[in-house]
């Protein structure tokens, strides 16, 4: 099945040749009926394929060898130790899987459903493997070998500014498009800023090659090589420039202005421009420089465009003061948990009462969250599943109200929230809404007006809480009003939850029937509801 799937996925690609073989396989055996049927569902015919034994000749011929299990890899490398650097588990590059999940067991003798599952696992593995190959070992085309690079991105610190300017003009005179990322003067700067900017530009494919200049070239080289996919070379003469391209496929040239004249640097640059990667044995060695697993590849290589946006957002957050009341900067630990394997798991239901299997670890995490929420707020129960504060409010409404029921809520114009009955929100469409507000003279909640409205309209629920009310809320008074008119009291404390948890604001828990909040504002947790 693996051979058929890979042939199908690389159909029309002249740079791929696909063969399959088995350790100890019998030559000439046809595929099993289940395997043929499983691939026929995808429009792939493998009925003509025949098995073959893995041989030394096949091993030597292969650029890469992909096995279904770690045991297969170990057997191959035991028989042919010299191919260890080009032998991988097929799903090694899928970072959504733990190590113990990467093996694909042989389905022989099992049911058709097992074959279907095996087929899907192989297809998943091939997809991640192809992404790995095409992001880490791009092969030069004939067209690229016949022409000079068409674009360069250049950068320098203050020490390399003058030489960078001379080399930039030299490139432009040769008809090469140049993007200059600075520095733009000889004023003191930090070289890592320019090195990584140029390296990211090359990594994203926004330029064919990069040029960096500092006092020695060494600092720029070290900083640029921190970016995945970059092969920066610090070069001091033409011979090394040629070798950096032909043997190392260098894509960023680093020069030291302190030791090179403009004319020397131009000759080095010209040699670097004309150089071509020889491939062959050098390509095998280069592969050892690049990460071998998708987990190590990271976003920068897998999707440079998204990585660039993430980095831009990181800089925006670091360089601005956040005045949006509903936002906060969470901790690296929270972001690590959010980006973990837990995100792969469906867990519909509640701890130990799931509709899915395999939830034992998710149950532990959710129960920890429940217990901590109850302890933090002194509550007798907590539901930690809402995706947002709006979802938490919706859960309360739909649990206790019917469409058309009357609710008494704080007007959005007076500091309330969209989910407190605004007409453009679901809460304003499903329920009959009466609003209370703040006094004009001091902009505080008018509890007398609120009580009068409650007695007049007899709402099924009173909602208290705000997105723009910087004053203490008297939950005790609201609890008395709700009980007087037979209404349920919902306290939405999304904006003040951190203050409530630390005792800096009175808690609604003793007075309200329901309390909702978000987890990402003053609680500084992940984005979610509670």
Residues catalogued as catalytic: 157, 214, 216, 247, 282
Quick check: 492 and 478 in contact, CB under 8 A?
A: no
CB atoms within 10 A of CB 287: 16
CA–CA separation, 215 and 225 (whole Å): 17
Quick check: 504 and 470 in contact, CB under 8 A?
A: no
Quick check: 527 and 519 in contact, CB under 8 A?
A: yes
Torsion of CA 261, 264, 270, 273, to 10 degrees: -70
CA–CA separation, 265 and 234 (whole Å): 12
CA–CA separation, 432 and 159 (whole Å): 70
For residue 154, CA distances in Å to 196, 226, 237, 300, 455 come to 11, 17, 19, 20, 73
The two structure tokens encoding residue 394: 């919706």
Quick check: 447 and 471 in contact, CB under 8 A?
A: no
For residue 130, CA distances in Å to 125, 133, 305 come to 9, 5, 19
What are the backbone dihedrals phi and psi of residue 406, each rounded to the nearest 5 degrees, phi first?
A: -95, 135
CA–CA separation, 19 and 58 (whole Å): 9
CA–CA separation, 339 and 324 (whole Å): 24
The two structure tokens encoding residue 75: 């057997």
State the DSSP string of 465-505. Answer: E-SS--S---HHHHHHHHHHHT-EEEEE-TTTHHHHHTTSS
First-last CA distance in the chain: 47
Element at 432 (helix H, strand E): strand 432-436
How far is residue 455 CA from its own chain's centroid?
52
CA–CA separation, 502 and 377 (whole Å): 9
CA–CA separation, 3 and 22 (whole Å): 12
CB atoms within 10 A of CB 135: 20
The residues that bridge with 254 in the sheet, in sequence order, are: 212, 234
Radius of gyration of the chain (CA): 32
User: Which of 131, 55, 123 lies closest to 93 in space, CA to CA?
Assistant: 131
Answer left, alpha or beta for residue 432, where phi above 0 means left and psi between -120 and 50 means alpha: beta
Element at 156 (helix H, strand E): strand 151-156
DSSP single-letter state for residue 189: -
């Amino acid at each position: 099945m693996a051979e058929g799937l890979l042939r199908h996925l690389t159909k029309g690609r002249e740079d791929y040749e696909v063969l399959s073989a088995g350790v100890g396989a019998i030559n000439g055996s046809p595929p099993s009926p289940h395997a043929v049927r499983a691939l026929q569902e995808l429009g792939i015919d493998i009925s003509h394929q025949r098995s073959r034994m893995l041989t030394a000749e096949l091993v030597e011929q292969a650029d890469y060898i992909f096995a279904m299990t770690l045991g297969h890899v170990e057997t191959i490398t035991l028989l042919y130790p010299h191919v260890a650097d080009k032998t991988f588990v097929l799903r090694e590059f899928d970072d959504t899987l733990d190590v113990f999940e990467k093996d694909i067991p042989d389905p022989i003798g099992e049911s058709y459903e097992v074959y279907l599952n095996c087929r899907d696992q192989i297809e998943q593995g091939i997809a991640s493997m192809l992404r790995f190959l095409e992001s880490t070992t791009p092969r030069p085309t004939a067209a690229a070998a016949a022409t000079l690079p068409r674009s360069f991105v250049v950068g320098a610190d203050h020490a390399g500014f003058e030489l960078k300017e001379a080399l930039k003009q030299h490139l432009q005179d040769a008809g090469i498009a140049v993007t200059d990322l600075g520095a733009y003067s000889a004023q003191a700067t930090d070289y890592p800023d320019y090195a990584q900017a140029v390296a990211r530009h090359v990594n994203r494919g926004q330029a064919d090659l990069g040029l960096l200049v500092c006092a020695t070239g060494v600092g720029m080289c070290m900083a640029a090589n921190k970016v995945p996919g970059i092969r920066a070379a610090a070069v001091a003469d033409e011979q090394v420039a040629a070798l950096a391209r032909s043997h190392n496929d260098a894509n960023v040239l680093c020069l030291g202005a302190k030791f090179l004249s403009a004319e020397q640097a131009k000759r080095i640059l010209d040699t670097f421009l004309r150089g071509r990667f020889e491939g062959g044995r050098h390509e095998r060695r280069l592969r050892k420089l690049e990460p071998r697993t998708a987990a190590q590849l990271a976003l920068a290589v897998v999707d440079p465009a998204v990585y660039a946006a993430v980095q831009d957002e990181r800089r925006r957050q670091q360089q601005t003061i956040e005045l949006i009341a509903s936002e906060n900067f969470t901790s690296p630990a929270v972001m690590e948990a959010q980006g973990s394997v837990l995100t792969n798991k469906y867990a519909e239901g509640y701890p130990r009462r799931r509709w899915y299997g395999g939830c034992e670890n998710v149950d532990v995490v959710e129960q920890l969250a429940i217990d901590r929420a109850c302890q933090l707020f002194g509550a007798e129960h907590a539901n930690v599943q809402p995706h947002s504060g709006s979802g938490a409010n919706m859960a309360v409404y739909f649990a206790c109200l019917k469409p058309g029921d009357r609710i008494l809520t704080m007007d959005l114009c007076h500091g309330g929230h969209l989910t407190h009955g605004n007409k453009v929100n679901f809460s304003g469409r499903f329920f009959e809404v009466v609003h209370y507000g703040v006094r004009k003279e001091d902009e505080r909640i008018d509890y007398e007006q609120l009580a009068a409205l409650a007695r007049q309209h007899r709402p099924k629920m009173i909602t208290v809480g705000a997105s723009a009310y910087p004053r203490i809320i008297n939950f005790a008074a609201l609890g008395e009003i709700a009980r007087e008119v037979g209404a349920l009291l919902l306290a939405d404390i999304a904006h003040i939850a951190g203050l409530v948890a630390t005792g800096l604001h009175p808690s609604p828990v003793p007075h309200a029937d329901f309390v909702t909040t978000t987890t990402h504002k003053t609680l500084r947790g992940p984005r979610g509801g509670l």
